[in-house]
Amino acid sequence: MKILVVNAGSSSLKYQLFDMDTNAVLAKGNCERIGIDGVVTHKRPGKEDYKTNADFPDHKAAIACVLSLLTDKDKGVIASVEEISAVGHRFAHGGEKLKKSAVLGDQELEYLESIVGLNPLHGPPAISGLKACKEVMPSVNHVGVFDTSYYSDMQDYAYIYPIPYELYEKHKIRRYGFHGTSHRYVAAQAAEMFGNKNAKIITCHLGNGSSITATVNGKAVDTSMGFTPQDGVPMGTRSGAIDPTVVTFLQKAEGLTAEEADKILNKESGLSGVSGCGSDCRDIRDAAAAGNYRAQLAMKILCHNIKKIVGSYVAEMNGVDALVFTAGIGENDRDLREEVCKDMSFLGIAIDEEYNQNCPRGEVADITARGAKVKTYVIPTNEEYMIALDTQNLTK
Ligand code: AMP
């Protein structure tokens, strides 16, 4: 069974074609600069990457380009589009109703359109991508996989904010959680490695966007991201959690509109805002190593906040069996893992510092120190595979 996974952004459309019988990725790529001047990169394992300018004024043209590449005599990997059994679409937000991955019919599409206000950045392009794919591939099922759905089993006291309850009822302001597909994937892998699917697991997805999730018995019980992906630990350009009054204070003190305040907190804060060295963790690390105080401070703030959240989840779950690091920073920044896990022996967390510095990149690694009560793993995330798996399960 072959499944196409699509992740549509405002000016990009990423794709991966899976052969679910062998779990192999047959091809993957990215259509960028949709509606501007179009560039497509198409990759196949063991073959040279193909990159070219392409004319795609909209998502429909982009997906048509993807299908023609996938079926191309030279660059293709399948003989015809009919070989694609179903398409899985990544959605950041499924609102309160789409609690699980679902085949997207008219009703689901209508609901997704009704909640774009909750997800103004990612919702509209994901819907455009879905509509385009449905038009170009009308005879197969299209499945939506939602970042928020992993959190749909959380208790009300974990997702309701202590603001007037009527505001939750009226505007659906609550904790939704994001990156759920990644957390679900790595938590399941960790539970398997730990040998107990009921394990208590804390997963740290640390990338350009970052979030931490607590999982018990395969279900998320809490997460650091909230109403939007702005909450929790500091990120590349997002502040993460701050005293909410900072926002209104700033608006008054600097005479800012809501949009301007939002821009500061979403695009000019986090590691970038503190360090002044941009949002890429590697650049901040380089600056810190060269003695830049603000770069050093930014990394310390990040580690401090990760530690605080990990500790709070241990309290919430009355223990932890495994701690997982994933995504760009979690998988690659060895010093960050060391800093976060330092002085956590009270909680049973300790890592083998030498192996942490030397374990192979891009692979699952058990970096637990000998004798430590809690397992610490590095697990490369694979959201696309999870989307393909859900799509297969809903359509086979
Ligand atoms: P992601 O959003 O998961 O793609 O992660 C992107 C983040 O991972 C960026 O901040 C990168 O700087 C960071 N990253 C990637 N490789 C490394 C590395 N070797 N060391 C530190 N950070 C890295």
Task: Tell me which residue has its CA closest to atom 15 in ligand 1.
Answer: 328
Among 282, 299, 324, 382, say which to mutate for ligand 1: greatest number of ligand atoms within 8 Å of CB. 282
Q: How far is residue 338's CA from residue 131's CA, in Å, rounded to a whole number?
A: 45
Pocket test of ligand 1: the residue of 147, 237, 332 to mutate, having most ligand atoms within 8 Å of its CB, is 332
Distance 11 CA to ligand 1 centre (A): 22
Atom of ligand 1 nearest to the CA of 279: 10
Regions of the chain short of the pLDDT cut 50: none
Strand order through the sheet with 365-366: 219-223, 210-216, 200-206, 322-326, 375-378, 365-366
Chain-wide mean pLDDT for the chain?
A: 97
Q: How far is the CA of 14 from the centre of ligand 1 (A)?
A: 19
What pLDDT score does 55 carry?
Answer: 87
Instruction: Work out the percent of the chain whose per-residue pLDDT is above 70.
Output: 100
Give the number of the atom of ligand 1 that is nearest the alpha carbon of residue 206: 3
Write down the catalytic residue from 58, 72, 106, 147: 147
Query: What's the whole-model pTM score?
Result: 0.95
Asked if residue 204 lies in contact with residue 190, where contact means CB atoms within 8 angstroms, the answer is no
Query: Cα of 268 to ligand 1 centre, how many Å?
Result: 18
Q: Would you give the distance in Å from CA 131 to the centre of its chain?
A: 23
Sign of CA dihedral 292, 295, 299, 301: positive
The pLDDT assigned to 290 comes to 98
Q: Locate the ligand 1 atom nearest the alpha carbon of residue 284 and give its number.
A: 12
Residue 70 Cα to ligand 1 midpoint, Å, equals 29
List, chain by chain if needed, residues with CB within 6 Å of any ligand 1 atom: 207-208, 236, 280-282, 285, 327-329, 332-333
User: Which residue in this structure is represented by tokens 């804060």?
Assistant: 269
- Ligand 1 centroid to Cα of residue 382, in Å, is 15
Which of 333, 382, 384 is the pocket-test mutation for ligand 1 (most atoms within 8 Å of CB)? 333
Nearest residue to 29 (alpha-carbon basis) of 88, 72, 61, 70: 70
Report which ligand 1 atom has the smallest distance to the Cα of 361.
19
How many residues make up the chain in this entry?
396
**Residue whose structure tokens are 């530690």:** 307
The tokens of 70 are what?
A: 């996938």
Active site residue 147: yes
Residue with tokens 């679409």: 89
Note the pLDDT of residue 56: 87
- What distance in Å separates the CA atoms of residue 83 and residue 155, rounded to the nearest whole number? 42
What are 81-138's pLDDT values in tens digits? 999 999 999 999 999 999 999 999 999 999 999 999 999 889 999 999 999 999 999 9
